[in-house]
A and B are shown apart, each in its own frame.
Chain A
């Protein structure tokens, strides 16, 4: 079995589910003939034909609105937004319609749609191509927000998202689309949509993160380990709902909690995690909860983006500060 990247794992999951469920339809801008600008949908048109893999006109609100009508009719639409920076015209449909259809019809209709979008910085892309605004969506009741951080989790979580009976926003960390390769068996096994993943066990500090920041967090943990600091790393993976049970268990064990995310700090998902850890686990803590995040600035254009993105050095120094407490 060949080792594959995250981008190939997304493709493998789409292939698998389209093969096994004829209600799955993939559509978006340039997803068919071109195979998507990041090649996540490459080969789908050839395998499943133009009836199931469709290039749409250029209109994001339309892509989301269509998905709702299709999903309510029993199809499994997988709608791609080319970049998260272009998803905002679709927010009306995601917030006002998709996430509410089950509730407002008291279960008569539902919206099992997947909205996919690559997000985040670090690939020297043009303006509006690099933001991390997952928190806007994590605030929406009725929606699920999922972010994978490895090829295996991309495969398993995307399968779960497609099979989920409610709408899921599936955000793909494009900076690590091709970062690592790993073996991902094409076994059609989905991962749970309400569980964190403990990527590394440790006893001194819990590092909580998701998406592309997994890379810097793993690097930081290696370095800290050399200094004798034992790090537990949690990949949150599902930002709505969040598996606080796993997070609190870890913080109870380590007594220290450092949250790392690329998105701006104010009202970021890290704030929700910090608040919940404080509410339910403040007596576990030996040091304050800390956050290493993007700044509350506009995402800089690519020449300056490295100064915005949290570095492993900053994660290390913040972890060291927390170790200085009792």
Chain B
């Protein structure tokens, strides 16, 4: 006879992970899987992301790009996620993931096209086999798409993981809870990464939730979680590697909370000075992720002013190519709005397509 279970006890705690402190000092030994070569790669990607970000804002200010969400100060999250993922894993982004896009080989000119009002920005014509999802603007939807893809990997016994990103504000959404809950119940190979930059446009985390951490939300879903210093790319990368290996080997989902600070506006349509306390905002710059990594690399004699100069020259050239490609992209066909709606456009709407061509074609 199966007896009904009517009592239960449980206790929980949240671990905080950091390797590299804000002064570039190691707070614990480097993970075994990390080396200086990888750190340089991460550093270069983070710097290029910041340059890209600055350039994109300038393009918006000069009317060449639409609304754009900066990731200034949050490059370590995107870089750690992007480098830890394998090509066969699938990414379900939100919209502050520029460093991950860069490291996954998504053409950065496409990212500009997307924010420049062109659907081809999510087409990835250079790599049509890419299974990565497009940028997700409706908050938290992507968590469920990742969970669905993770189901497909599990269904086909593939050693792959789905990775999705979200802001801390997004974790207030039902879809976030629904996704982590199902991922736990079905032990799906998915990693949820929360960029906790402490601001959801103008709403601070204190008004978003009574939770002391976002990581603890995983407890309610019965899945593993960890809080990492989101300005420490080593911690982000390490937690990601661990979570991905776990997922790929059938041991279920993980929630990673990357704690950082939004030292930028929400988007170019926002003015954070209206609501972020200026002293707190200025103080957050002391913790940003690039400087600490450069200090660490220089202290270990694997980086120098000269190497910095060489990298910057290379990055300037790369960036120039990205922007030129974006600006010189030929205009799309106006009929594209009909031609990708269904695999085959139903007759009923063929007439409207003709109407469009007659008016504008």
Q: Write the residues of chain A forming the contact surface with B, with a CB cutoff of 8 angstroms.
A: 25, 51, 56-57, 59, 61-62, 64-75, 77, 89, 92-93, 96-97, 102-110, 141-142, 144, 165-166, 194, 241-245
Q: When chains A and B are docked, how far (Å) is the Cα of A151 from the Cα of B232?
A: 61
28 CB contacts below 8 A, A to B, read A62-B147, A62-B178, A62-B182, A65-B143, A65-B144, A65-B147, A69-B146, A69-B152, A71-B148, A73-B149, A74-B152, A92-B141, A92-B175, A97-B145, A102-B340, A103-B337, A104-B122, A105-B123, A105-B134, A107-B340, A108-B128, A109-B131, A142-B342, A165-B343, A166-B343, A194-B346, A241-B346, A242-B348
Q: Does B151 contact A (CB under 8 A)?
A: yes
Q: Which residues of A contact B95 (CB under 8 A)?
A: none
Interface on chain B toward A: helix, strand, loop, or mixed SS?
Answer: helix
Q: Write the residues of chain B forming the contact surface with A, with a CB cutoff of 8 angstroms.
A: 90, 92, 119-120, 122-125, 128, 130-131, 133-134, 138, 141, 143-153, 155, 162, 174-175, 178-179, 181-182, 185, 336-337, 340-343, 346-349
Q: Which residues of A contact B145 (CB under 8 A)?
A: 65, 68-69, 72, 97
Q: Which residues of B contact A89 (CB under 8 A)?
A: 174
Q: Which residues of B contact A62 (CB under 8 A)?
A: 144, 147, 175, 178-179, 181-182
Nearest B residue (CB) for A96: B138
Nearest B residue (CB) for A103: B340
Q: When chains A and B are docked, how far (Å) is the Cα of A51 from the Cα of B346?
A: 35
9 closest A-B pairs (Cβ-Cβ)?
A69-B148, A65-B144, A73-B152, A241-B346, A106-B123, A62-B178, A241-B348, A66-B148, A69-B145
Q: Which residues of B contact A107 (CB under 8 A)?
A: 123, 340
Given known pairs A102-B341, A106-B122, the reply for A241 and B144 (CB within 8 Å) is no
Q: When chains A and B are docked, how far (Å) is the Cα of A67 from the Cα of B151?
A: 10
Contact across chains for B342 and A166 when beta carbons are under 8 A apart: yes
Q: When chains A and B are docked, how far (Å) is the Cα of A59 from the Cα of B147?
A: 14
Q: When chains A and B are docked, how far (Å) is the Cα of A73 from the Cα of B152?
A: 6
Contact across chains for A61 and B151 when beta carbons are under 8 A apart: no
A-B contact count (CB 8 A): 137
10 extra interchain contacts, Cβ-Cβ under 8 A, other than A65-B147, A109-B134?
A62-B147, A69-B92, A69-B145, A72-B148, A92-B138, A93-B144, A102-B342, A102-B343, A108-B124, A165-B343
Contact across chains for B341 and A69 when beta carbons are under 8 A apart: no
Given known pairs A61-B144, A93-B141, A104-B122, the reply for A69 and B178 (CB within 8 Å) is no
Q: Which residues of A contact B162 (CB under 8 A)?
A: 69
Given known pairs A103-B341, A108-B123, A142-B341, the reply for A61 and B175 (CB within 8 Å) is yes
Task: For residue B257, give the distance in angstroms from its CB to the closest CB of chain A.
Answer: 21
Contact across chains for B150 and A69 when beta carbons are under 8 A apart: yes
Q: Which residues of B contact A25 (CB under 8 A)?
A: 155
Q: When chains A and B are docked, how far (Å) is the Cα of A166 from the Cα of B155?
A: 21
Contact across chains for A72 and B149 when beta carbons are under 8 A apart: yes
Q: When chains A and B are docked, how far (Å) is the Cα of A97 from the Cα of B347?
A: 23
Q: Which residues of B contact A96 (CB under 8 A)?
A: 138, 141
Q: When chains A and B are docked, how far (Å) is the Cα of A192 from the Cα of B146?
A: 32
Contact across chains for A75 and B123 when beta carbons are under 8 A apart: no
Q: When chains A and B are docked, how far (Å) is the Cα of A103 from the Cα of B335?
A: 12
